[in-house]
């Protein structure tokens, strides 16, 4: 890959390299590009969550969970609460770890995302 091609794949607002790897996995599979770290408001207009990646129109949130999420009880609790808030307003939350990004697991990870996109009304060739 050339430097120019790599620069075109960069996105502002990404919080971690694994989030970028997940987004690039999605991109390389030919799936629509998700938004990066954008706030979601609840029915009252208050911010309720800022998923790592999301398909706003389809209400799909993708979260990369680093190991610190499991090792820090307070963080784990916040993650559960965050996901519950999203589900309460009709979102699907897909969670991923470093094992999902491994080469041998990448096809299943892509299929999980593709299936969820299709279940939520996306069709290949459509923008989201």
Closest-CA residue to 24 (of 37, 34, 38, 12) = 34
Place of tokens 């080469």: 103
User: Count of CB atoms within 10 A of residue 119's CB?
Assistant: 11
Alpha helices in 9-97 (DSSP H): 17-28, 67-71, 73-88
User: What pTM did the predictor assign?
Assistant: 0.85
Domains with residue ranges and CATH for the chain: 23-119 (3.40.960.10)
Q: Which residue has the higher pLDDT, 101 or 128?
A: 101
Task: List the beta bridge partners of residue 61.
Answer: 54, 93
pLDDT digits (tens, 9 = 90+) for 10-58: 445 555 789 999 999 999 999 999 999 999 999 999 999 999 999 999 9
Q: Are 95 and 80 in contact (CB under 8 A)?
A: no
Q: What is the pLDDT of residue 5?
A: 39
The H or E element that residue 42 is part of is none
Rounded to whole angstroms, how far apart are CA atoms 75 and 9?
Answer: 30
Determine which of 10-14, 69-73, 112-116 has the lowest per-residue pLDDT on average: 10-14
In this structure, what token pair is assigned to residue 103?
A: 């080469």
Rounded to whole angstroms, how far apart are CA atoms 94 and 104?
Answer: 19
Q: Are 43 and 75 in contact (CB under 8 A)?
A: no
């Amino acid at each position: 890959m050339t430097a120019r091609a790599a620069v075109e794949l960069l996105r502002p607002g990404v919080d971690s390299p694994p989030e970028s790897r997940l987004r690039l996995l999605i991109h390389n599979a030919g799936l629509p590009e998700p938004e990066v770290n954008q706030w979601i408001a609840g029915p009252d207009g208050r911010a309720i969550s800022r998923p790592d990646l999301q398909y706003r129109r389809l209400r799909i949130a993708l979260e990369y969970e680093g190991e610190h999420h499991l090792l820090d009880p307070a963080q784990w609790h916040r993650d559960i609460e965050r996901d519950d808030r999203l589900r309460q307003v009709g979102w699907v939350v897909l969670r991923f770890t470093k094992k999902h990004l491994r080469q041998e697991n990448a096809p299943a990870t892509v299929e999980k995302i593709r299936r969820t996109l299709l279940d939520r009304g996306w069709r290949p060739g459509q923008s989201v």
